[in-house]
Amino acid sequence: AHNDLFEAQSKYSEQAHAMTTATLKFRSIITNPKHSDEPKQQAKQKCHDVKKELHRIHNEYILKLKEANFADEQYVKSLKNFLVYHEDAQRILNNSWKKTLVTLADYTDSTRADYKAIISESHRIADTVEPKSCYFDFCIKNSSAKRVIKPENFNDTLIKTAGVDDLHENRIAADILTVEDLNNSSYAIHKDIFVHEQKIGNLQTKSGWQREVRFLLEEALRESGFVDAQTPDDCVTFPPIGLTNKLEDQPYFHGIIPRADAINELKNKGDFLVRNNEQSQCVLSILWTRSNDPTDSLEDRHFVINFNDNRYSFSNANVSKPSVKELIDYYLHSKEQLKTDGTKLLRPVERPGFIIDNDEISRRDTLGTGNFGEVMKAEYRNRNVAVKILHAPSVQFKSRKQIQEERSKFIREALMLSKYDHKNIVKFIGIAAMKDPIMIVMELVEIEVCVCSDLAARNCLVDKGENVKVADFGLSRCLENNEEYFPPLKEMPVRWWAPELFSH
Question: Which segments of 358-453 are extended strands (E)?
Answer: 361-369, 373-380, 384-390, 426-432, 439-444, 450-452
Say if CB 479 and CB 504 are below 8 A apart: yes
What is the spatial distance between Cα 313 and Cα 309, in angstroms, rounded to a whole number? 11
Say if CB 421 and CB 469 are below 8 A apart: no
What is the spatial distance between Cα 162 and Cα 142, in angstroms, rounded to a whole number? 42
- CA-wise closest residue to 267 among 245, 309, 300, 237: 300
- With a CB cutoff of 8 Å and minimum separation 6, the contacts of 246 are 323, 325
The C-alpha torsion from 240 through 244 and 250 to 256, rounded to 10°, is -170
Question: Which segments of 154-264 are extended strands (E)?
Answer: none
Rg, C-alpha atoms of the chain = 43
The C-alpha torsion from 41 through 46 and 49 to 54, rounded to 10°, is -140
What is the spatial distance between Cα 302 and Cα 286, in angstroms, rounded to a whole number? 6
Buried b (16+ CB within 10 A) or exposed e, 387-425: bbbbbebeeeeeeeeebbbbbbbbbbbbbbbbebeeeeb
Q: What DSSP letter does each residue of 279-304 carry, written as one string?
A: TS-EEEEEEEEPTT-TT--EEEEEEE
- With a CB cutoff of 8 Å and minimum separation 6, the contacts of 375 are 366, 367, 368, 369, 386, 387, 388, 389
Question: 255: buried, middle or exposed (CB in 10 Å: 19+, 13-18, 0-12)?
Answer: buried
- With a CB cutoff of 8 Å and minimum separation 6, the contacts of 412 are 258, 261, 485, 486
Say if CB 306 and CB 327 are below 8 A apart: no
- Please give the single-letter amino acid code of residue 195: V
What is the spatial distance between Cα 320 and Cα 325, in angstroms, rounded to a whole number? 11
What is the spatial distance between Cα 328 and Cα 348, in angstroms, rounded to a whole number? 10
What is the spatial distance between Cα 69 and Cα 180, in angstroms, rounded to a whole number? 48
Q: Is 388 annotated as a binding residue?
A: yes
Q: Which residues pair with 222 in a beta bridge?
A: none
Give the CB-side neighbour count of residue 58, counting CA atoms within 13 A. 8
What is the spatial distance between Cα 86 and Cα 26, in angstroms, rounded to a whole number? 63
In eight-state DSSP terms, residue 462 is E
Binding residues for ATP: 388
- Enumerate the known binding-site residues: 388
